[in-house]
Amino acid sequence: MQGYEVSIEIPPRRGLLDLRGNAAIRLICNEQLGGDLPLAANRLACLPGNKLAYCISPDHWLLQVEEGDEGPVLRSLEQAAGQTFHAFTDVSDLYAQIRLSGPDVREVLVQGVSIDIHPRVFPAGSTARCEFAKTTAQLTCLETASVFEIAVYSSYQRYAIDWLTQAQGR
C-alpha cells in the first residue's frame, strides 16, 4: 500500500504553563502540585490531577494541565512562590499540539526530525526540543512507543499538519 500508516490528530485542548525557577522553586511547585517536577532533562513525569510535566532544562519545565485549569494552577503556584525568583507563564495558546499514532509513526517523523528517535534512545516518556521540518518543536513520546505529540508554535500549526500529511505519503 502506498504511504505510511499513521493517524494525525489534533488532541483536545489543554492548558500549558511555562515554569522557570531554581531548586527552591521546584520544591515549592512539587508541594503545590503534589508530585515532583522531573529533574532529568528531556523526560516526562505524570503528576496528580492528570498533569504532565516536561523537563526542558534544569530550571525550566512545561506543565500540562486540563483545559481551564491553567489559570487556577498558575495563580496557586504564583502565590506559593511569592517573592522567590521565578517566572511562571501561561503558554496555553503558544503551542499547537499534534498527535501522531500508528505503526509507521517513526517512519513519518524521521522525515523531519533530526534527533535520534529510536526506541532505545527515545523511549516512551521522552521529550525533546528539536528541529522539525525547518521549524522548532517539542517532540514527546507518550505512553507507548508508537504515540507521539509534536508541539509547534501555533503560527506553524497549519504548515506542520500539511507537512505531516505529505510525509504520510497518501
Partner 1 sequence: MGRVDRSRPITFRFNGQTYSGFVGDTLASALLANGVMLVGRSIKYHRPRGIMSAGVEETNAIVQLLGDEDEPNVVATTLPLYQGLEASSVNGRPDSRFDARAINDVLHRFIPAGFYYKTFMWPDNRWDWYSRFIRRIAGWGTAPQKASGGRYEHRYHHCDVLVVGAGPAGLAATLAAGRAGARVLLVDNQTEAGGSVLGSSAMINSAPAMRWVESATTELAAMPEVVRLTEATAVGYYKQNFVTVLEQRPDRHWLRERLWKVRARRVVLATGAIERPLTFPDNDKPGVMLASAVTTYCFRYGVKPGRTAVVFTNNNRSYRHAIEIAEHGIHVAAIVDLRKSPDTGLCEEALARGIEVLRSSHVVSVKGSHRVTGVGVAIATDKSIREFHCDLLAVSGGWDPAVHLHSQSGGKPVYDESIASFIPGKSVQQERPAGACRGELRLAKALADGYAAGAEAAALCGHVGVPVESFDCPAEPCLGILPVWDVPTARKAARAFVDFNNDVTSKDIRLAVREGYRSVELVKRYTTAGMGLDQGKSSNVNVIGLIAEISATPPGTVGTTTYRPAYSPVSFGAMAGTDNGQLIFPWRRTPITDWFIANGGHLDETGALFRRPLYIAKPKETASDAIEREALAVRNAAGIYDSTPLGKISIKGPDAVKFLNRVYTNAWDKLPVGRCKFGYMLHDDGRLLDDGVTFRLSEEHYVMSTGSGVADIVLRHLERLLHCEWPDLEVYLTPVSDQFAVICVCGPQARLVMQQAGIDIDISREAFRFFDTGFCKVAGLDARLSRVTYTGELSFEIEVPSRNGLKLWKALMEAGADYGITPVGSDTSMLLRTEKGFIAAGLEGDGHANIHDVGMGWVVASDKGDFIGKRSTERDINAGGTRPQVVGLLPQDPTFVPPKGTPIIEPGETCESRESIGMVTIGFHSPALGYPIALAQLSDGRSRLGDTVTLYTGERTVSARVCEPVFLDPDGERMRS
Look up residue 114 and give its DSSP letter. -
In the chain, what is the straight-line distance between the N-terminal and C-terminal CA atoms, in Å?
9
Q: Tell me how far, at minimum, the Cβ of 22 lies from partner 1, in Å.
A: 10
Site of interaction with partner 1 (CB under 8 A): 2-3, 13, 18, 20, 85-87, 89-95, 107, 110-116, 118, 120-121, 133-135, 153-159, 162-163, 166-167, 169
Nearer to partner 1, 133 or 150 (CB): 133
Nearer to partner 1, 13 or 75 (CB): 13
Between CA 77 and CA 166, with CA 157 as vertex, the angle to 5 degrees is: 140
Nearer to partner 1, 1 or 48 (CB): 1
Which amino acid is it at 48? P
Q: Tell me how far, at minimum, the Cβ of 86 lies from partner 1, in Å.
A: 7
Q: Tell me how far, at minimum, the Cβ of 48 lies from partner 1, in Å.
A: 25
139: which 3 cell numbers? 517532540
Nearer to partner 1, 50 or 165 (CB): 165
Residue written as grid cell 509534536: 150
Q: Tell me how far, at minimum, the Cβ of 82 lies from partner 1, in Å.
A: 12
Look up residue 71 and give its DSSP letter. H
Give the Cα separation of 78 and 88 in Å (integer).
7
| Distances 15 to 8, 27, 162 between C-alpha atoms, Å | 21, 22, 24
